[in-house]
Amino acid sequence: MKTPFYFKSVLCAAAVIWLFSCSQQNNPAGAYATIDDVFPTPKSVVPTYVAVDEVQLVDRYIQHIHVGNKEQHRFAVQRLLANPDCADQVAAELKTLTTDRFTIGSVVSLCQVLGDVGTDSHAVAILPFIETIFPPIVRTAAFQALAFIATAEYGEMLIAAYAEQDESSPRDACLNALSQCGNDQGLDFIAKLVVQWLDQGENALQSSWNALLLNSNPRLQQVLVGLQSRLSPFLALQSFGVRISLGEGDLQDEIMVYLDSEKYPSSGTRSLAVQLLGEL
């Protein structure tokens, strides 16, 4: 019973020795297989990345604004905002969007980008979106962008657009754009709205006061002086603050009046007066 077992064991051992000796016949002494024998080193390397120029990158970012998910959309907007040279492409993209081909998110984002990186020459690409056929959020974004890049020549158009706005958000944004463009007619228009607000107390006109204080027209100081007698104590002090920022320095006596605690019991009014005196 043991003979077949030993015979098979000897036969297997002999076979292993024979195979090992055969595998070493063609190798010189001391030679071993290396990784290069199994995976040869390539003679040339094929590039796996092809550089993309800036124009193509901008186009890709714009497309992500249209069809990307929320994270891609946000990333694309940030990349466009970081690239001032993208203004022409963003403006061109806005011009291709119509009432039949646009999404609210894409138009709002593109207006935001163009308002930040664009110039007055790009304002024409935004103008179609202030029309009332667009939803309030789109019109608001368009006016906010125009506030950064529109010049005085857009004043009359913004005055006309203001009258067409029924919602407070685009109306206030339009008024701010009119204020920032520095148009003479726009300054007078805003001043009239302030007078209406002071006389009638309409809440809808309250934003006109902020728009007036932020106006970039050189005649602002003159207009504020003309309104001074109509203003409440707090508004008067706000007006003094703007006039001080415009370089007017002989306001000490007029501001000191508001330190009288019997006439002006509000501590907020007197504190603001003290603060303004410190700025003179």
* 85-130: pLDDT as tens digits: 999 999 999 999 876 677 899 999 999 999 999 999 999 999 999 9
CA dihedral (191, 195, 200, 206) in degrees, to 10, reads: 40
**How many Cβ atoms are within 10 Å of 47's Cβ, its own excluded?**
6
pLDDT of residue 137: 96
Instruction: Quote the pLDDT of residue 239.
Output: 94
CA 83/CA 105 separation, integer angstroms: 20
Instruction: Could you list the beta-strand ranges (E) of the chain.
Output: none
Per-residue model confidence as pLDDT tens digits over 190-230: 999 999 999 887 777 889 999 999 998 999 999 999 999 99
Task: Give me the pLDDT at residue 170, please.
Answer: 96
Q: What is the pLDDT of residue 154?
A: 95
For residue 243, what pLDDT band results from cuts at 50, 70 and 90? Answer: very high
pLDDT digits (tens, 9 = 90+) for 44-82: 766 666 666 666 888 888 888 888 788 888 898 999 999
For helices 87-96 and 104-117, give the axis angle rounded to 10 degrees.
Answer: 150
**Quick one: 150 exposed, middle or buried, by C-beta within 10 A (0-12, 13-18, 19+)?**
buried
Q: Given 3-state DSSP classes, what are the helix, strand and coil percentages for the chain, each rounded to the nearest 5?
A: 70, 0, 25
- The rounded distance, in Å, linking the Cα atoms of 94 and 122 is 10
The region that residue 222 occupies, defined by phi over 0 for left and psi between -120 and 50 for alpha, beta otherwise, is alpha
Delineate the domains of the chain, giving CATH numbers in brackets.
Answer: 52-230 (1.25.10.10), 231-279 (no CATH)
Would you say residue 33 has pLDDT above 70?
A: no
